[in-house]
Structure 1
Amino acid sequence: MNQLKKIEKLLKWSILFSCFISLKIFGQIQRVEPAFWYAGMHNPELQILFYGENIAENEVVVSNGIAIKAIQKTENPNYLFVTIDTKDVPAQELLFSFSKNKKVVFTKKYALKQRRENSALRKSYDASDMIYLLMPDRFANGNSKNDSQKTLAEKADRNNPSGRHGGDIAGIIQNLDYIQELGATALWSTPLCEDNDAQGSYHGYGQSDVYKIDPRYGTNEDYLKLSSELHKRNMKLIMDYVTNHWGAAHWMMKDLPTYDWIHQFPGYAQTNYRMTTQFDTNTSKIDAKMCVDGWFVQSMPDLNQSNPLVLNYLIQNAIWWIEYADLDGFRVDTYSYNDKEGIAKWTKAITDEYPNFNIVGEVWMQDQAQMAYWQKDSKIGAIQNYNSYLPSVMDFTLMDALAAVFNENQSTWDKGLMKIYNNFTNDFLYPNTNNIMTFAENHDTQRFNEIYKKDFKKYQMAMTLLATLRGIPQLYYGSEIGMAGNKNEGDGAIRLDFPGGWQGDSNNVFTKNGRTAQQQQFFDFTSELFQWRKTNEAVHFGKMTHYIPENNVYVYFRYTDKNAVMVIVNNGLNATVVEPKRFKENTKDFKSGKDVFSGKRIDLQHEFSIDAQSAFILELN
């Protein structure tokens, strides 16, 4: 009898265990994206991705009378896209029930969270800011324990120029005082989301999970802490967002929701990089297709923004990060390689949700008309009935000029500072010249101090121009200490470790005592210049009048009704005399100007001298 009871008990447990296993296999939800959302959004429709084995075979309902607007299945039964209406729904916990044959087989809790006060009207970065760009893996290692991760392929190897070196979010937070001392008011970090490529993953542009900070940088909570610490300093956080592609190791690439989630040929075909095909009226269809649909590189599958599921996924992911991390803006990688109609919808969806939110797109072209095409409300784009809705573009033509002019010491028709002058003669092409990012270099270009062999005078002239010309200046980490590095030796050479960011570094430039005399010279000038820039509205949003360079001397004015600044840059090899009468249109009744560096007063009623390869910034009074 006891034996029968034991057998009966074993059978009962066996049945229960089988049911449990069956339930786990059938009902397992491996991913939910977004993992949570926010109540009170401008667009109340939320499309939630549920992923698990054969999950599409289930019926779905949600608690609390929430309306399900649509349930979308694809050819892959492991995905289910459920759209709910959150209009007038307060923050609360929802419960999704999944049933088979009218029996609930599993449930999933889902949080609608409370938004921050005035979240929709958050202020973004603008021309009053200076942006500091850094590569987190190469800036500072604040937590050596996370340098390598068992679950991620590439391990830390500081001896490998193309490997991971261990820099992280903790290292950035620990050195925010340094960045602030430079006069920076906004931080742009290259991507921090997980990148599980087997090699070269340190740059972050081949993301494998766009809802998760790479554990080698820290956690999502660490990123939120970075945002909070910046805001305590009245500084802003700009996320580097990638809409064009993901990495080959992205979790979806092993089990695509739809065949056309990415562009396929089938499989891989490389872009021709000819972004002009996006608007060239003479282009062939195959060339236009290969620009947009081709992959940037083989390890980066190209996302299909013309697929509504893909586009909505990218929109919601971007908005989720803004809300979660309390972001102040985006920089969008490879903006002009996207499907141009799709990326316009993406951009508009974000700026509809956040009317003041600034987004700068990487439109790497060598022609102002072609770059201006991509800025919001462009008259050039309007010729083709196109509006990207992109608030800001990057001034690559100015970067190209800055990389050449200071080795062109003779005044000619089109060389020397005439290149800078000519760049701004085309400003009429842009809808909003104040909202253009200006820079001398970034993480993809030759180092400025490499081009000019750490020539301090040339650095002074370039930074003076960036600080006082129209637009939003961006400084690439290390420029302020004279950091160089030859791109011809590989990208690792222009992305060197920041000295002092690792324990044991012999040269710690985060402290004054750790800098060499040359590094201190670069740092002091940069800090003084951009700290001054914070205080002068004329160089933020003022109008500009410039004068044709003579003898390689460029003179221009930035001015408002209340403030005026006169900038004189002498790129010649000899000191020269400036005759103020020529500039009476702008000097008007001003009798003198104070040089912001020396404090010296310059008499504007008489001619004065300016040294060779130097610059004056004169506050007029």
Structure 2
Amino acid sequence: MKRLIYLLALIMSSNSFGQIEKIEPPFWWSDMHLEELQIMVYGKNISEYRVSAKAPMVINNIRRTENPNYLFITVNSRELKPGKYTLDFSMEGGESFQQTYELKGREENSADRKGFDASDVIYLIMPDRFANGNPENNSHPEMQEKANRQEQGGRHGGDIQGVIDHLDYLNDLGVTALWSTPLLADDDPSYSYHTYAQSDVYKIDPRYGTNEDYRRLADEMHKRDMKLIMDYVTNHWGAEHWMIKDLPTYDWLNQFPGYENSNYRMTTQYDPHRSGRDFKYCVDGWFTGTMPDLNQGNPLVLNYLIQNAIWWIEYAGLDGFRVDTYSYNDKEGIAKWTKAIMDEYPSFNIVGEVWMHDQAQIAYWQKDSEIGAIQSYNSHLPSVMDFTLHDAISVMFNENEASWDRGMIKAYENFVNDFLYPDINNILVFAENHDTNRLSEIYDGDIAKYKLAMTLILTTRGIPQLYYGSEIGMRGNKSKGDGDIRRDFPGGWPGDANNAFTAEGRTKLQNAYHSFTRKLLKYRKNSEVLHFGKLLQYLPDNNVYVYFRYNEKGRVMVVINNSEERQELNLSRYSEGLKSHISGTEILSGKTLELKDALPIEGQTSMVIELQ
């Protein structure tokens, strides 16, 4: 009945003819791996028109839906040369018009672009909270929510220009890649700064800047040998999205009919004993009532998302995706989406948010997983996030008294399960992000514990990710609201009490955090053994965790003393890792160490020793 009402409403509202209001993608490129291009055309009663193309463009298919305001026109685009092509729209005995569609030439070696990998350090920012580079776009007449920096969950005014203005700061810190939370338009009436409820996926939110500004950000980063990662959302859009307000098809969204919330139980994706209802409410349930759930099982939706993702890679020159709520999608649909992008860009990288607390359940989602293969599933997803390591880091540095399952054994046991992952170097490791408690909040501003955690993150296997402000000890308590863990970076706004982007503007404590982080990042940036070297770990003893990263060219010994007491390591225990090395340079202090019999280490201290 609700579907019938929906159809009647469409018919009643479609009583006049008009021309094209939107065409997506707005343009495309020739010589793409994707052979066919599906052009979505939107306009009042546009489906009443017949469509033809002037040679050499060939129309393969025209899809009409129950909504007469849409046409989906599929053309052969791969062999067409760059240029402008004409689509003819006509009605029998009535009006006609033409629409020009452009295919651009690709940049040289575009298909061979290299994505982020374990040689990178990723810096995650929330652009609204990082820096306000252009105060004139804080609010925008076309967007509902206006800037109010006094409101914790409001728009504060950070933007793309603010990021560009501080790229040299990030480069000097040792960051090589930037993951920004979404920058696309989000016209929610409130709480829109996080931008995960998008209202137009071909347009940068004007409060952040323009499409051209985003491309300029990528260009400026590439000048500095840095990489730009887009936060892409496949699972849902915002309720204010223009297509949600006039759905192309009833099943463009997952409907119950209408809204039902997700149960968030991602384990139903592979539970052999699950009920059908529980599975449906996980995959098809909406993330929230303001985020309608997209149906990737609908070929029109899936193709739209594939083309949109490729469009942004090609247009902006992107180096990677982080995919939000990856494991909430229709898993067959998201696998096709991922494969289509990786087929187009074989050296690209995509990391999916799979927020689970079991290594086998996370590993299921990585490309070529043997665990997924048990159920004949392959996500084609190159990288996943190491949430189990995050879980351990969130507690273990407060466990100074070690026991069977407390303290540094948590780190050791996490890495024991690395055999479950098909590509362990391509896994994202982190201590905090925009959805978690701040690390310095968990450890109550204890810089010693911060140093222990960062030593682990920046020297173990995988791709390390920092959260903006970690390097100056920023705090935030999630129980006080998401806005508290997404505070403004000090110095990003005129009139801020201090400017943490400069050594002179930072407090003494902020400089202590920053100098430690910078030193370790600078070392890691040029240390191939920390990028792709093998990992050899030892069972923690007295809450002291020792591991080695090694390859044919070098070895690094890492010592993390999580106890409050000074410890003395009997080095004969670590002879397998030391090999014939009897000395090394401790990177954090710059001291040369003798490694013959014993190694003393102070309480709550870490060492990164390059063996010589």
Alpha-carbon distance in structure 1 between the residues aligned to 2:572 and 2:145: 63
Matches within 5 A, 1:19-98: 26-98=17-89
Deviation per residue, 1:227-284 (Å, 9 max, x gap): 0000000000000000000000000111100000001111110000000000000110
- 1:593 paired with 2:593, answer no
- 1:443 paired with 2:434, answer yes
Please tell me the residue identity of whatever aligns with 1:159. Answer: Q
Please tell me the residue identity of whatever aligns with 1:268. Answer: Y
1:511 is displaced (CA, Å) by: 1.1
- 1:384 paired with 2:375, answer yes
- 1:453 paired with 2:444, answer yes
Q: SS of the residue aligned with 2:179?
A: strand
Q: SS of the residue aligned with 1:172?
A: helix
Which among 600, 604, 612 is matched to residue 609 of structure 1? 600
Alpha-carbon distance in structure 2 between the residues aligned to 1:36 and 1:83: 14
Deviation per residue, 1:175-194 (Å, 9 max, x gap): 11111111100000000000
Deviation per residue, 1:36-55 (Å, 9 max, x gap): 00000011200000000000
For the Cα contact (< 8 Å) 2:56–2:80, is it kept in 1?
no
1:613 is displaced (CA, Å) by: 0.3
- 1:429 paired with 2:423, answer no
Please tell me the residue identity of whatever aligns with 2:292. Answer: P
- 1:220 paired with 2:206, answer no
Q: Corresponding residue for 1:574?
A: 565
Please tell me the residue identity of whatever aligns with 1:150. Answer: P
Larger Rg: 1
Which among 521, 525, 542 is matched to residue 533 of structure 2? 542
Q: For the structure 1 residues 607 and 98, does the alpha-carbon distance in structure 2 shift closer, same or farther, using more than 3 Å as the test?
A: same
Q: SS of the residue aligned with 1:47?
A: strand
Please tell me the residue identity of whatever aligns with 1:279. Answer: Y
Matches within 5 A, 1:249-288: 249-288=240-279
Q: Corresponding residue for 1:12?
A: none
Matches within 5 A, 1:481-560: 481-560=472-551
- 1:306 paired with 2:323, answer no
For the Cα contact (< 8 Å) 1:27–1:106, is it kept in 2?
no
Please tell me the residue identity of whatever aligns with 2:475. Answer: A
Q: SS of the residue aligned with 1:550?
A: coil
Please tell me the residue identity of whatever aligns with 1:615. Answer: S
- 1:403 paired with 2:394, answer yes
Alpha-carbon distance in structure 2 between the residues aligned to 1:73 and 1:29: 15
- 1:413 paired with 2:404, answer yes
Q: Corresponding residue for 1:248?
A: 239
- Gaps of at least 5 residues in structure 2 are 1-14
Q: SS of the residue aligned with 2:538?
A: strand
Please tell me the residue identity of whatever aligns with 1:187. Answer: L
Alpha-carbon distance in structure 2 between the residues aligned to 1:48 and 1:311: 13
Query: How many residues matched?
Result: 598
Q: Corresponding residue for 1:209?
A: 200
Please tell me the residue identity of whatever aligns with 2:309. Answer: A
Deviation per residue, 1:329-364 (Å, 9 max, x gap): 000000000000000000000000000110000000
Which among 199, 220, 224 is matched to residue 229 of structure 1? 220
Q: Corresponding residue for 2:358?
A: 367
For the Cα contact (< 8 Å) 1:27–1:105, is it kept in 2?
no
Alpha-carbon distance in structure 2 between the residues aligned to 1:499 and 1:599: 30
For the Cα contact (< 8 Å) 2:16–2:45, is it kept in 1?
no
Deviation per residue, 1:525-558 (Å, 9 max, x gap): 1111101101111110000110000000000000
- 1:478 paired with 2:460, answer no
Q: Corresponding residue for 1:292?
A: 283
4+ long deviations beyond 3 Å: none
For the Cα contact (< 8 Å) 2:331–2:379, is it kept in 1?
yes
Alpha-carbon distance in structure 1 between the residues aligned to 2:46 and 2:154: 39
Deviation per residue, 1:112-170 (Å, 9 max, x gap): 00111010010110000000000000000000000001111000000000000000000
Alpha-carbon distance in structure 2 between the residues aligned to 1:565 and 1:512: 30
1:103 is displaced (CA, Å) by: 5.8
Deviation per residue, 1:390-409 (Å, 9 max, x gap): 00000000001001011101
1:90 is displaced (CA, Å) by: 0.7
Comparing 44-53 with 55-64, which one deviates more in the overlay? Answer: 55-64
For the Cα contact (< 8 Å) 2:47–2:64, is it kept in 1?
yes
Alpha-carbon distance in structure 2 between the residues aligned to 1:68 and 1:545: 58
Q: Corresponding residue for 1:6?
A: none
Alpha-carbon distance in structure 2 between the residues aligned to 1:363 and 1:401: 16
Alpha-carbon distance in structure 2 between the residues aligned to 1:388 and 1:606: 49
Please tell me the residue identity of whatever aligns with 2:173. Answer: L
Please tell me the residue identity of whatever aligns with 2:592. Answer: R
Alpha-carbon distance in structure 2 between the residues aligned to 1:608 and 1:359: 41
Deviation per residue, 1:410-456 (Å, 9 max, x gap): 12111100000000000000000000000000000011000101111
For the Cα contact (< 8 Å) 2:64–2:72, is it kept in 1?
yes
Deviation per residue, 1:8-63 (Å, 9 max, x gap): xxxxxxxxxxxxxxxx9634211000000000001120000000000001111122
TM normalised by structure 2 equals 0.97
Matches within 5 A, 1:132-147: 132-147=123-138
Please tell me the residue identity of whatever aligns with 1:251. Answer: W
Q: Corresponding residue for 1:105?
A: 96
1:598 is displaced (CA, Å) by: 1.6
Alpha-carbon distance in structure 1 between the residues aligned to 2:73 and 2:493: 46
Please tell me the residue identity of whatever aligns with 1:197. Answer: D
Please tell me the residue identity of whatever aligns with 1:443. Answer: H
Q: SS of the residue aligned with 2:397?
A: helix
Please tell me the residue identity of whatever aligns with 1:598. Answer: S
Alpha-carbon distance in structure 2 between the residues aligned to 1:92 and 1:27: 27
Please tell me the residue identity of whatever aligns with 2:487. Answer: L
Please tell me the residue identity of whatever aligns with 1:592. Answer: S
Q: Corresponding residue for 2:333?
A: 342
Deviation per residue, 1:49-86 (Å, 9 max, x gap): 00000000111112232111110000001000000001
Q: Corresponding residue for 1:20?
A: none
RMSD: 1.0
Alpha-carbon distance in structure 1 between the residues aligned to 2:318 and 2:154: 29
1:605 is displaced (CA, Å) by: 1.2
Please tell me the residue identity of whatever aligns with 2:318. Answer: L
For the Cα contact (< 8 Å) 1:163–1:200, is it kept in 2?
yes
For the Cα contact (< 8 Å) 1:569–1:614, is it kept in 2?
yes
Alpha-carbon distance in structure 2 between the residues aligned to 1:600 and 1:524: 17
Percent identity among equivalent residues? Answer: 62
Q: Corresponding residue for 1:355?
A: 346
Q: SS of the residue aligned with 2:504?
A: helix
Q: SS of the residue aligned with 1:26?
A: coil
